[in-house]
Structure 1
Amino acid sequence: MNSETPPDPKFETLAVRTQMSRSHHREHSTPLFMTSSFVFDDAEQARALFADEVPGNIYTRFSNPNTNELVDKICQMEKAEDGIATASGMSAIFTSFMALLRQGDHVIASRSVFGSTHQILTQILPRYGISFDYADIANPDSWEKLFKPNTRMVFIETPSNPALDLIDLEWLGKLCKSKNVILNVDNCFCTPYLQTPLEYGADLSIHSATKFLDGQGRTIGGLIAGRRDLLKEIRFYARHSGPSLSPFNAWILSKSLETLAVRMERHCQNALELAKYLETLDDIEVVKYPFLPSHPQYKLAKKQMRLGGGVVSFQVKGGISRGRKFLNSLEMFSHSANLGDSRTIATHPASTTHSKLSEAERLAVGIEPGLIRVSVGLEHIDDIKNEIDMAIVKSRS
């Protein structure tokens, strides 16, 4: 490099080096600011802070140095104009809905969404006079006819949970722009290391930071990143309704982001190798993983994702009874409803995360009774494969 001005830092460098200004103590690692409020120099500064005329912290429900640092990092990673941290992934989704939607508005959502998101769409938003329609991921041509004059937002997951179906972000971004509709993307499965929806035309990118962003199953948190004008409305709603993230959790998550790139590389490497291995086993059928050549949207995955993600879905031959035997035979894997952990987790979505959907609703989004979702961890791949082999053998009896 012969220029006096270095190029913009890469993703990994931003994750490690984005920190708040050091205090007079000259600490190397960001300290914790476990305080509910902040003091003012004088009455005029207090007035100016409350009038939003000057930057600064007033009250941790509004902002805190630890949450500010976390938001700064995620905005740089997502290439977003602004962002906000919330107490959980679901509070991030709900806050984005309630801040931007009004009575009489209409939402289009991809049919395959997380179970709690389904409950918000079907049970909670209608109480406020907000209607919705589900769109079929497998039939993009059907989406345009769902738009109505009062359609305000499109909400999607890609890849979907747990069937790992994809939506073309560039196509949908252009469609939403042409309709002047907000495109809100749950980017939890990918993290900004694998996918940046805003670059494809999305207006908001939402995370359950509980999952891969933390990566070690220690805490819960949510993040919203996107357009500055939309975040202004979201921040107003959050400031007065209070879904704030604690400074301690923000501190944990900000430190977690320092290792996000290396963790996701290993998650994806293990997941791809496991998916390929599962396809060779006679006892396993319908293996789904975005970077498998057999995935129906393999080319799209390669276009909009850096790697295939850390989740693999598959079915064990023999239906739900065999699937339960398989799960009960696992010894090393954690049997939990979480994902994105350093430890491999196996889940039966039909009876846990998506149990509130009807059987017809589950089948419509590819959740067969025997579907197993594996969040592939950071263990050695040979041990992960051996665990699968052992559970297959035990579940035959």
Structure 2
Amino acid sequence: MHVETKLVQAGVGRDEKTGAINFPVYYSTAYRHPGVGESTGYDYTRTGNPTREVVEQTIAVAEAGDAGFACSSGMAAIQTVMGLFSQGDHLLVSVDLYGGTYRLFEQLLTRYGLSFTYIDMRETDRLAEAIRPQTKALFIETPTNPLMQIADLAKLADIARQHDLLTIVDNTFLTPCCQRPLELGADIVLHSGTKYLGGHNDVLAGLIVTKGAELTEKVKFLHNTIGAVLGPHESWLLVRGMKTLGLRMERHQANALQIARVLREHPAVTDVFYPGLTDHPGHEIHNRQASGYSGMLSFRVASAEQVQPFLQSLGLISFAESLGGVESLCTYPATQTHADIPKDIREEIGVCDRLLRLSVGIEHPDDLIADLTQALDRSLAVAGGVVR
């Protein structure tokens, strides 16, 4: 079956007693044992919950993995995976990276003896030079957040295997509807389920998918031991969101492509970053490893003075953090998602004070384009007519 069908059928047929199509929410934290040494398969909700299990099995099937693990947030999922590493271990990480991940790595995990080197994953020929004896894994975003840089996952995974490294991929932007890193050689896939998988800006969640029996057992132990698991109600909301993921991704992508083409023609905009544009760097690699482009794009305005009037002039589109919901959101990475990355590092990699990130929703594209156009026009007027 296609992944869209698998997602729609999440939980269907699992409640054999009642035949409920919509799998119920199990709030119980404890489960009665039939006898000494006997179990129904559930003992304590941190270790296993029937509703959470539906989410975990669904994402595992969708990502072509061996097991899924639902966490209380995307950051909790990353923290759980980081439990695989020990003091002195080193990881190679995408240089253009979500700011929250950078904060976790640099402000917390370095205190426990892990170290991280940030490299351009597009330059696969230089990857081997960065590998140390202590290097244990690659941590990859593709497309990256927020500059949409594209890395060759199959090639990176091959290099990782040659050096006995794990390949960890954050697949939040594309979801399994558009890209399945495990099929390209990755070992672990991560998601902020808060984003496209949930899809309605109403649930905080993170997901881990593993490939391989030994690795799966290690992550299972960490998931239960650390205990940052997803609650039953949030699990139910996430299942509900995932059922419509296929349809939503089609509309997100169609809208984003139209908007990207309009933005690149507007005099207030100097750069547009969207993998669906044929001249986007890495477009051919992306097409080889993915089947879609998602609804995420970024763009630069001509001057930093345009940012404030542009954001204040938006009417339909909300100036807010997060992404992947049905509603369109615009984010200013310099002060929001990437604020914890030092300014000199941000600017060196291209996350400057002129960059805006747009999560394109599923509204009618004409309405979104009209809102963006009037806000950009207003930003030019207030900034004194600065043009590229």
TM-score (norm 2): 0.95
Say whether 1:83 aligns with 2:68: yes
Q: Tell me which residue corresponds to 1:197.
A: 181
Q: Tell me which residue corresponds to 1:299.
A: 284
Which residue among 240, 245, 270 is the counterpart of 2:230? Answer: 245
Q: Tell me which residue corresponds to 1:18.
A: 10
Between the two proteins, what is the percent identity of the paired residues? 34
Q: Tell me which residue corresponds to 1:166.
A: 150
Query: Which string of whole-angstrom CA distances, capped at 9 and with x for unpartnered residues, describes residues 7-41 of structure 1?
Result: xx221221122326224223221111111111111
Q: Tell me which residue corresponds to 1:3.
A: none
Check the 8 A contact 2:122/2:152 in 1, yes or no: no
Check the 8 A contact 1:315/1:323 in 2, yes or no: no
Distance between the aligned counterparts of 2:290 and 2:373, measured in 1? 30
1:22 partner amino acid: D
Which residue among 371, 377, 382 is the counterpart of 1:393? Answer: 377
Q: Tell me which residue corresponds to 2:293.
A: 308
2:174 partner amino acid: C
Task: Write the mapping of 1:321-360 to structure 2, written as runs, cut at 5 A.
Answer: 321-360=305-344
1:63 partner amino acid: G
2:18 partner amino acid: H
Query: Which string of whole-angstrom CA distances, capped at 9 and with x for unpartnered residues, describes residues 150-183 of structure 1?
Result: 2111101111001110110011010001011000
Query: Which string of whole-angstrom CA distances, capped at 9 and with x for unpartnered residues, describes residues 283-307 of structure 1?
Result: 2111010010121111111111211
Q: Tell me which residue corresponds to 1:213.
A: 197
Tell me the number of residue pairs that the alignment of Structure 1 and Structure 2 aligns: 379
1:242 partner amino acid: G
Task: Write the mapping of 1:244-283 to structure 2, written as runs, cut at 5 A.
Answer: 244-283=229-268
Task: Write the mapping of 1:166-185 to structure 2, written as runs, cut at 5 A.
Answer: 166-185=150-169
Distance between the aligned counterparts of 1:292 and 1:124, measured in 2? 37
Unaligned runs of 5+ in 1: 1-8, 47-54
Q: Tell me which residue corresponds to 2:354.
A: 370
Q: Give, in angstroms, the shift of residue 139 of structure 1.
A: 2.9
Distance between the aligned counterparts of 1:25 and 1:121, measured in 2? 46
Check the 8 A contact 1:67/1:247 in 2, yes or no: yes
Q: Give, in angstroms, the shift of residue 141 of structure 1.
A: 2.2
Q: Tell me which residue corresponds to 2:386.
A: none
Distance between the aligned counterparts of 1:211 and 1:229, measured in 2? 29
Unaligned runs of 5+ in 2: 383-388
Which residue among 35, 39, 42 is the counterpart of 1:42? Answer: 35
Q: Give, in angstroms, the shift of residue 331 of structure 1.
A: 1.1
Distance between the aligned counterparts of 2:79 and 2:53, measured in 1? 21
Please tell me the root mean square deviation across aligned C-alpha atoms, in Å: 1.2
Query: Which string of whole-angstrom CA distances, capped at 9 and with x for unpartnered residues, describes residues 25-70 of structure 1?
Result: 2322111111111111111204xxxxxxxx8111111111111111
1:191 partner amino acid: T
1:193 partner amino acid: C
Q: Give, in angstroms, the shift of residue 346 of structure 1.
A: 0.4
Question: Post-superposition, which runs of at least 4 consecutive aligned residues in structure 1 deviate over 6 A?
Answer: none
After TM superposition, the structure 1 stretch with the greater mean CA deviation from structure 2, 372-381 or 23-32, is: 23-32
